Amino acid sequence: MLSSMLNIFVFGHKSDLSQWRIVNDGVMGGKSTSSITVDENGRGLFSGDVSLENNGGFASVRYESGLEDIRRYNSLKLKIKGDGKTYQLRVKGSKGDYHQYSYLVETTGEWQTISVHFDKLQPIFRGKLLDIPVFDGKEMHEVGFLIANGVAESFALRIDEISLQE
């Protein structure tokens, strides 16, 4: 039996990035910078510089997916090419949640297809693991990436597609 997929976002030369949002440590006084663009090959490019100044240390990009019923799916599929750094895949269940769910993604510098089962998404708030259940897979308001490795560094994460799979 073939599994079913639902594309959340597939990048291309004409991608509309208006639902993508940058959230960096500037919300807390930090100095990190980042952007989301489409590169010369039509892939998403989340890039920038993480700064530790003013108690900073993270950069993130979020896509407002607004998916209200994803119960038939059980995992996320990512097609990405990182720079050898560690990123956090971040998911927000419902719009009103104060927390997100996180999964560490180790990039290799090559294109990778990564499947992340929902039960691997751990609840997190401001970098702290919460003592609540893992992601329940009912709805997905946001999906994105965060880099916060505790060092000042430049980064570049290329994103081809993000999808749900059964």
Q: What pLDDT does 2 receive?
A: 56
CATH number, residue 106: 2.60.120.430
Mean pLDDT value of segment 2-6: 79
Q: Over pLDDT 90: what percentage of the chain?
A: 92
Instruction: Print the domain residue range for 133.
Output: 5-165
* Secondary structure in 3-state letters for 88-144: EEEEECCCCCCCEEEEEEECCCCEEEEEEEHHHCEEEECCEECCCCCCCCCCEEEEE
The predicted-structure confidence for 72-99, as pLDDT tens digits, reads as follows 999 999 999 999 999 999 999 998 899 9
Element (DSSP H or E) covering residue 78: strand 75-81
The gap from C-alpha 25 to its chain's centroid, in whole angstroms, comes to 16
Count of other CB atoms within 10 angstroms of residue 126? 10
Q: What pLDDT does 127 receive?
A: 87
- Number of domains composing the chain: 1
Count of other CB atoms within 10 angstroms of residue 9? 18
Task: State whether the Cα torsion 99-122-70-4 is positive or negative.
Answer: positive
Q: pLDDT class for 148, splitting at 50, 70, 90?
A: very high
Q: What pLDDT does 31 receive?
A: 96
Mean pLDDT value of segment 89-116: 96
Residues with Cβ within 8 Å of 162's Cβ and at least 6 positions away in sequence, in order, are: 7, 8, 9, 63, 76, 77, 78, 79, 143
Q: What pLDDT does 3 receive?
A: 65
Mean pLDDT value of segment 122-127: 93
C-alpha to C-alpha distance for 157 and 35, rounded to whole angstroms: 11
The residue among 1 and 37 whose pLDDT is bigger is: 37
Mean pLDDT value of segment 20-39: 95
pTM: 0.95
- Confidence check: pLDDT of 65 > 90: yes
